A and B are shown apart, each in its own frame.
Chain A
């Protein structure tokens, strides 16, 4: 219980730090670029949104302490103001909510898939140490993890989109279709998700494979594995129940963490494929100098990571009693 409380304390503190960073950044930057742009657009905002934005970026004549507290209060009530340029006058919360499902669907499912596949490949690779899988996989995936995500996406677009015309590579779905729960629309959405999902899969799977393989190799050296061998247990049982079961913990906590990165983890892939999720929206906001939208998205991305870390800490404490006392 004390452990959970301490982690919760850290969670609140970090969230506060992120909020403060959000508040401080526009004020610290040379020439306060945010000020000028917001001042230009203040006429387009509704009075209540104007108040929110004024507190956040320091436009009004309130002193900075008051601004800070009214900013914190606005965030606590989930008031983020209105978009300046991306969708002028629409509330930021609204725009963000529209983008979230796309990102969750694309990045979320791909993350789960990459975790399952990567862990299995890692297990088999470590078990057949020196086999073809073990000798080919690590070098390939070391290379894969250094390739910029967006560039793989670009190359896949070139091959499967521009040259072969097999798959669509722009937008979330065909804009001529009306969204709805019918086969044609769902099929179209899936078709548009294949290339970005595949890009994400091949770039993220390497980490799972390597972590699993390396932990598994250490576990395989343990005496209880040797004991199981001596008992003459079938190989598959030793591999899964003895070695993999004990080696999977780092991968599991890593997985819990990576769920937090679902929201903001594929920004560049969404950009390359014009996939209208959270990351794409963030870059739209950045390009249009839409600071209120940008800040709300950054907070959302940070909060998602924080929640996932909290969950992963708690999960580790439950799964591995040894960690409870440790820092």
Chain B
């Protein structure tokens, strides 16, 4: 993987020195040679260095950290009760109500701040649970092989091609007002399949490698081999899976809530959009009621996407941005 060269001019971008090197050869997030036994502390240090030297990764991490803080301590930032319908209706922005009030007389700023927690919970919950399910099913299919592989892969493939969002809508329509926990479960159920397929492919490519054979000869149990030998080689794939699933969870759940299939009494960005749209917020001059929750969804989604993109670049140097190829090309070699 380290020999992958950036295309374009002779010399390749990787050696040009204009690209911030990510920790030198082997120092980036390249998959370590399987079985090399990278210690936990060192890989965390590498990860930190990689994140800090990649602009996209730093921005993404910063944004995500900010959202986490807001979700943990909403009361510190917003002092109003987000659900209380106690203020004047449809007020414009003012010092008391930074973003104005809703058509029901709730403080929009407080709603945005308190709405962070459910969205973040759904994103992290789905990212984590979808990745774990995908890991179990994907690795089990590859490792067990034979009929097990056939059945598990078939389930994965079938779920993969059934369109996820319509399926979500149909499931949610029977539930009549899905709470945050239910949303996590439902979104996870429709979205783990893509990762499972990727992880199965990765695990398959490892199946006949010597370090696994060595573990088998040593007499290790299957569970030990899967957990200690196979899964650590998939760190970057698992990371990508977590980020992608978290991103889709934000979009899917907000979409469902916007349609009105979430629990309309939860304060979250999607339900805010639902109530705003139903009260014709644009026509009544309450544009901020729609603009701000939407911007928050975009920002949170962007944080996950930037991180994902950055990890891609760290793992595949050919995709890193190239500063001035054209000047390089005319240089004599």
Contact = CB atoms under 8 A, between A and B. Distances in A.
A66 interface: no
Counting from the closest, the 4 A-B pairs by CB-CB distance are: A221-B7, A146-B301, A151-B294, A29-B174
Secondary structure call for the A interface: helix
A267 B259 CA distance: 10
26 contacts: A33-B174, A129-B7, A130-B324, A130-B326, A143-B305, A148-B255, A148-B298, A151-B297, A154-B273, A154-B290, A158-B290, A158-B291, A162-B282, A214-B319, A217-B6, A219-B7, A264-B166, A267-B165, A282-B169, A283-B259, A286-B169, A286-B170, A298-B169, A301-B163, A301-B166, A305-B163
A157 B287 CA distance: 11
B129 to A, nearest CB: 20
Given A14-B158, A146-B305, A294 B319 contact: no
Interface residues of A, number: 60
Contact of A287 (B167, B247, B260): B260
A294 B157 contact: no
B170 A295 contact: yes
A302 B163 contact: yes
A46 interface: no
A268 B7 CA distance: 40
Contacts of B323: 130
Contacts of A221: 5-8, 318
B251 A146 contact: yes
Interface of A: 10, 13-14, 17-18, 21-22, 25-26, 29, 33-34, 129-131, 134-135, 142-143, 145-148, 150-151, 154-155, 157-158, 162, 214, 217-222, 225, 261, 264-265, 267-268, 271-272, 282-283, 286-287, 289, 291, 294-295, 297-298, 301-302, 305-306, 309
A130 to B, nearest CB: 4
A27 B305 CA distance: 38
B166 A298 contact: yes
A157 to B, nearest CB: 7
Given A146-B251, A305-B163, A34 B174 contact: yes
B227 interface: no
Interface in B1-28: 5-8
Interface string B175-211: 1100000000000000000000000000000000000
Nearest to A310: B161
Contacts of B247: 146
B231 interface: no
Nearest to B305: A146
The B interface is mostly helix, strand or loop, or mixed, namely helix
From A150, A271, A287, residue with most partner B Cβ within 10 Å? A150
Given A25-B170, A25-B174, A146-B305, A155 B294 contact: yes
Contacts of B301: 146-148
Interface string B128-172: 000000000000000000000000001001100111011101110
Nearest to B261: A286
B322 A130 contact: yes
Contacts of B305: 142-143, 145-146
Contacts of A222: 7
Contacts of B304: 146
Interface in B264-288: 273, 277, 282-283, 287
B273 A286 contact: no
Contacts of B171: 25
B84 interface: no
A17 B277 CA distance: 36
